[in-house]
Amino acid sequence: MSIPERRSRKNYSEGESSGPCHLTHDEFKKVHDHSPMGVVAVAADGIINYANTVALAYFNFKENEVLGESLFNLYEDASPVKANEAKLRRSEEIIDQEFLVKAQPGGRWVLVSSRVHHDAEGVAQTYLFSRDISGVKKREGLFSYLNQAAAALAKTRDTSGALELISRLIVPKFASWFTIDRLKDNRLELLLLKHEDPARIEWAYQYRKNYPHDLNSNIGPALVIKTGKPGFVPVVTTEMVDLMITDPVQREEVKKIGLRSVIIMPMFNDDKITGLVNFISSRSDRHFDETDLEFAQNFTNLIGIALENARLNDETANEIILRKRSEEQFRFLTDAIPHKMWTSGPDGRATYYNQQWYDYTGINGFDALREKIWDFIHPDDRAVAAVEWPAAVKSGMPMELEQRLMRHDGVHRWHLSRFTAHKNDAGETILWVGTSTDIHEQKVTGMEMAALNEELAAANEELISMNEEVAATNEELAAANEELAATNEELIETQAGLQRSEKLFRSIALNIPKSLIIVIDKYHRYVTIEGDIMEKLGYDRTNYEGKHLADISRERYEASRPLYERVMTGERFSIEEKTESGEYYMVHFVPLKNEQGDVDTAMIITLDITDIKHAEERSAKLAAIVESSDDAIISKTLESVITSWNAAAERIFGYTESEMIGETIYKLIPPDRQDEEPLILARLKKGERVEHFETKRMTKDGRLLDVSLTISPIKDPQGHIIGLSKIVRDITERKTDEARKNDFIGMVSHELKTPLTSLSAIIQMADVKLKRSDDRFLAGAMEKANRQVKRMTGMINGFLNISRLETGKIFIEKHPFELDRLLREILAETRLTVSTQTFRLEECANITVNADRDKISSVISNLISNAVKYSPKGKLIDIRCQVQKEMVVVSVKDEGIGIKPQDLGQIFDRYYRVETSDTRHISGFGIGLYLSAEIIKRHGGNIWAESEIDKGSTFHFSLPLA
């Protein structure tokens, strides 16, 4: 038999991959559209791509609302670790797992199994088959509750405790209000009334007083008592109320209660109705059903047992009280009865009997009594006395005995006899004093009490067996609901979960910096309170739980009360507050709903936002500055996307803020300068600032503007560059001025050049002639004049070049020439005119370059003349050239004043001069290095300097070899 079974199972599992897998999606839909089960198909990421009508009904959504949604947004995984959800995500199959459908008010439970199907490409698709088990779940829940209630009730020992516990178990979890009535002499006596709203309890009592149940009628409680059957109205309609209640005032009152659903249960004891239990729901979303009815039935039985149990306990307690009282009376009596008193000598022989002895025994005369005293002790008690008395006499220790003494009429009465030694200073006994007190009545009552106690013990045993019965009932209940054990465990887990989430809540609250989180219930009592600004907001570390907000600070409560009431209506809102001391708080009011969807608690989250507010204020100020700036201030991302655009930017470029935000900065860069941006970005990404970078940008209407850019990186507190801020200054006007100035300089220089050339020629001729003259002054003067004219020519050439450069009229005419030769020529000439420094030319082999000889010559002259200008007398100036790869590098090294590092980067800028006391007296315009750099750049070479202050500088330039 086992083989075919295994086969059939195997076939079934094979069917998964060969059966439905060959169905197309539409075929699949057709098959499952009419399935009585909920069918849902999801992809591996949980996205729903199919749901049949049954499943849609479970979700309480329309098809278009479900398709494309994630399954995990619609279900709550019942497994505490979300294991099922994880399995589904891994495309593993699940069997009979419980899920809670989220969207359903009140919750709907479904039992889900899944099958995973891989298509031809191996893509996994999970089919979930679900069955509604909400009814079963509810039943399980209620019966587990019943079980707990039974266990709790079995422990109660008195009626009021039991009633208190019962009411807490029922309201508000099961019913809005409920009553227990005892049936006594055909009258209903209200034993307990509980309402979920404490404010309505008084009202409910009043209602019951004004409208007592009429047991002669044929409806409601009267009918239940008559028939012994429960009264059950799942949905109470207005029409019903109108029909059943004739008194218009009462009708109004009933409508006020909001009577939605009613169960009236008879309570039995030995088949006799002993009372009624009324379960009432006033909530529009809570209607009792058959499961509730069954629960109410069982619960009422429990109440019956519990009350009987409690009653028995109460009676026992009464007995104990009675006995206590008689003990007190006993003591009183003991005191009231006059003692029989006697004395004896140290040997124990009697020396005296008081009158009570004679009266009691009827013997007259001391000796006669002393002779017969033993006869008066009951024979059964004599032996004890015969041992105890001599022993006491011997030891001198006091003694006490209960014994029966015979009265003159032969009746033995119980006495308490005490025998005490009186001693002298030496500690010797001189006298024994004895008293015998008639305790007969008490002794007998005591014995009767003992008998009664035995009876009571028997009654107790009965009680215990009663308890055992209750326990048995519990067991039955437990047995009848075997699966409930599991549910209980789940419940415990849920509770553990709750405790965990409570802890979690606390640690979350503590971990939100500068926060206070308070949870209150609907009566405005604290449920929990936690947060690091507790103390700051006037809370100490006392336990607030369960306390009413008004008890902590009535003033504060009254001020905020409307807010608490508002949040309890289910509205979620936030308010911002500023304290007198200038702190800002954001308070969020969040209503929290219970399983029934009612708001029963609310969370109040207070956040100290002072820092944020201050930052906001600061940034508002900054924004005002940015807006009023004359320069365009633009911020952009590292990808050059514009994120802010101020008013000046709009004025300068003509684009509005909305046109530019989200656009890239390239929109402003002219086509021939687009490669500037990556270079700028590269510098900024290294954290450098770009300052006063002069370039051209384009306006909306296509005009080119001269601009100076200053760009700085924007960093987050951790120092990461998150964006760039850019200040754009429109320098078009300045540029026009400069151009005008350049034109002027160019024109003047040009005009000056012609007369200077003739002047130079005349001086040279005169110099030749006058060299041979006797007039030594004239001979030297022409030499000096020649030198000055040369200097002037150099300067004028400089100005001319600069104006050419600015207007783009400088041209490089390249021809191959020998660089070493040029260097030697320049050096020979310099040696002629400069006698203050020594020059040295090193390592210059035959080097040919293809370059503009005149312009390179002016670069070398310029570097040498700077070395002379910025060095003290008698120093060495070292000139060398070296071939490196495809380039030759010429270096001019001096031992002069040097250049500070901060100046080194700028000396090649136009008109830049280092201003120090050392350089002030040295003439110059700051154009030599600028021109040199421009010339070298145009040759495809490089120019740079190294320097150490007071030690000297070395200037290098490189040129490509020919």
Among 347, 395, 925, 949, binds ligand ADP (CB under 6 A): 925
Q: Tell me which stretch binds ligand ADP (CB under 6 A): 199-207, 561-569, 874-882, 923-931.
A: 923-931
Among 114, 928, 939, 956, binds ligand ADP (CB under 6 A): 928
Q: Using CB under 6 A as the criterion, what x/- string covers residues 159-188 for binding ligand ADP?
A: ------------------------------
Q: How far apart are CA 391 and CA 400, in angstroms?
A: 12
Answer yes or no whether residue 929 interacts with ligand ADP by CB under 6 A.
yes
Determine which helix (DSSP H) or strand (DSSP E) holds 706, and give its type and residue range: strand 704-715
Q: How far is the CB of 876 from ligand ADP (least distance, A)?
A: 13
Among 421, 914, 943, 959, binds ligand ADP (CB under 6 A): 914
Q: How far is the CB of 784 from ligand ADP (least distance, A)?
A: 21
Q: How far apart are CA 877 and CA 896, in angstroms?
A: 9
Q: How far is the CB of 932 from ligand ADP (least distance, A)?
A: 8
Q: How far is the CB of 955 from ligand ADP (least distance, A)?
A: 6
Q: How far apart are CA 437 and CA 418, in angstroms?
A: 9
Q: How many chain residues are in contact with ligand ADP, going by CB under 6 A? A: 20
- Amino acid, res. 137: K
Q: Please list, in sequence order, all residues whose beta carbon lies within 8 angstroms of the beta carbon of residue 240, skipping any fewer than 6 positions away.
A: 233
- Nearer residue to ligand ADP within complex by CB, 176 or 837: 837
Q: How far is the CB of 901 from ligand ADP (least distance, A)?
A: 13
Establish how many alpha carbons lie within 13 A of residue 635's alpha carbon, considering only the half-sphere containing its beta carbon: 13
CA-nearest of 526, 599, 613 to 568 is 599
Q: How far is the CB of 921 from ligand ADP (least distance, A)?
A: 12
- Nearer residue to ligand ADP within complex by CB, 438 or 894: 894
- Nearer residue to ligand ADP within complex by CB, 396 or 794: 794
332 phi and psi, to 5 degrees?
-60, -45
Q: Segment 304-343, which members bind ligand ADP (CB under 6 A)?
A: none
CA distances from 204 to 194, 369, 707 (A): 9, 78, 84
Q: How far is the CB of 793 from ligand ADP (least distance, A)?
A: 15
Q: How far apart are CA 598 and CA 604, in angstroms?
A: 17
- Nearer residue to ligand ADP within complex by CB, 414 or 870: 870
Answer yes or no whether residue 805 interacts with ligand ADP by CB under 6 A.
no
Q: Produce one character per residue of 139-171: b if its CB has 16 or more CB atoms within 10 Å, e if not.
A: bbbbbbbbbebbebbbebeebeebbebbbebbb
Which SS3 state, helix, strand or coil, does residue 538 take?
A: coil
- Nearer residue to ligand ADP within complex by CB, 153 or 802: 802
Q: Using CB under 6 A as the criterion, what x/- string covers residues 338-377 for binding ligand ADP?
A: ----------------------------------------
Q: How far is the CB of 909 from ligand ADP (least distance, A)?
A: 9
Q: Tell me which stretch binds ligand ADP (CB under 6 A): 206-214, 472-480, 829-837, 906-914.
A: 906-914
Q: How far is the CB of 889 from ligand ADP (least distance, A)?
A: 17
- Nearer residue to ligand ADP within complex by CB, 548 or 804: 804
SS (H, E, C) 626-692: HHHCCCEEEEECCCCEEEEECHHHHHHHCCCHHHHCCCEHHHHCCHHHCCHHHHHHHHHHCCCCEEE
Ramachandran quadrant class, 108 (left: phi over 0; alpha: psi -120 to 50; beta: rest): beta
Report CA torsion sign: 109, 114, 120, 121: positive
- Nearer residue to ligand ADP within complex by CB, 710 or 861: 861
Q: Tell me which stretch binds ligand ADP (CB under 6 A): 257-265, 720-728, 738-746, 924-932.
A: 924-932
Among 230, 924, 942, 944, binds ligand ADP (CB under 6 A): 924
Q: How far apart are CA 579 and CA 561, in angstroms?
A: 18
- The 8 Å CB, 24+ separation contacts for 489-493 are 491/144, 493/80
Residue whose Cβ sits closest to ligand ADP: 924
Orientation of helix 482-511 relative to helix 440-480, angle to 10°: 90
Q: How far is the CB of 907 from ligand ADP (least distance, A)?
A: 4
Count of residues for the chain? Answer: 962
Orientation of helix 819-833 relative to helix 853-869, angle to 10°: 40
Question: In 735-886, which ranges are E strands?
Answer: 815-818, 838-842, 848-851, 876-884
Structure token pair of residue 616? 């906001």
Contact 839, 824 (CB under 8 A): no
Among 42, 449, 519, 907, binds ligand ADP (CB under 6 A): 907
Which SS3 state, helix, strand or coil, does residue 37 take?
A: coil
Among 508, 919, 938, 944, binds ligand ADP (CB under 6 A): 919
Q: Using CB under 6 A as the criterion, what x/- string covers residues 930-959 for binding ligand ADP?
A: x----------------------x------
191 phi and psi, to 5 degrees?
-95, -35
Q: Tell me which stretch binds ligand ADP (CB under 6 A): 103-111, 158-166, 646-654, 920-928.
A: 920-928
The secondary structure of residue 339, as a DSSP letter, is P
Q: How far is the CB of 864 from ligand ADP (least distance, A)?
A: 9
Answer yes or no whether residue 830 interacts with ligand ADP by CB under 6 A.
no
- Nearer residue to ligand ADP within complex by CB, 304 or 896: 896
CA distances from 501 to 101, 494, 496, 505, 543 (A): 21, 10, 8, 6, 19
The secondary structure of residue 373, as a DSSP letter, is G
Q: Segment 845-904, which members bind ligand ADP (CB under 6 A)?
A: 866-867, 870, 894, 896-897, 899
Which SS3 state, helix, strand or coil, does residue 120 take?
A: coil
Contact 307, 416 (CB under 8 A): no
- Nearer residue to ligand ADP within complex by CB, 146 or 927: 927
Which SS3 state, helix, strand or coil, does residue 549 take?
A: helix
- Nearer residue to ligand ADP within complex by CB, 710 or 857: 857
Q: Tell me which stretch binds ligand ADP (CB under 6 A): 248-256, 340-348, 525-533, 918-926.
A: 918-926
- Nearer residue to ligand ADP within complex by CB, 706 or 934: 934
Q: How far is the CB of 642 from ligand ADP (least distance, A)?
A: 38
- Nearer residue to ligand ADP within complex by CB, 300 or 866: 866
Q: How far is the CB of 950 from ligand ADP (least distance, A)?
A: 10
Bridge partners for 881 per DSSP: 890
Q: Which residues bind ligand ADP (CB under 6 A)?
A: 866-867, 870, 894, 896-897, 899, 907, 912-914, 919, 924-930, 953
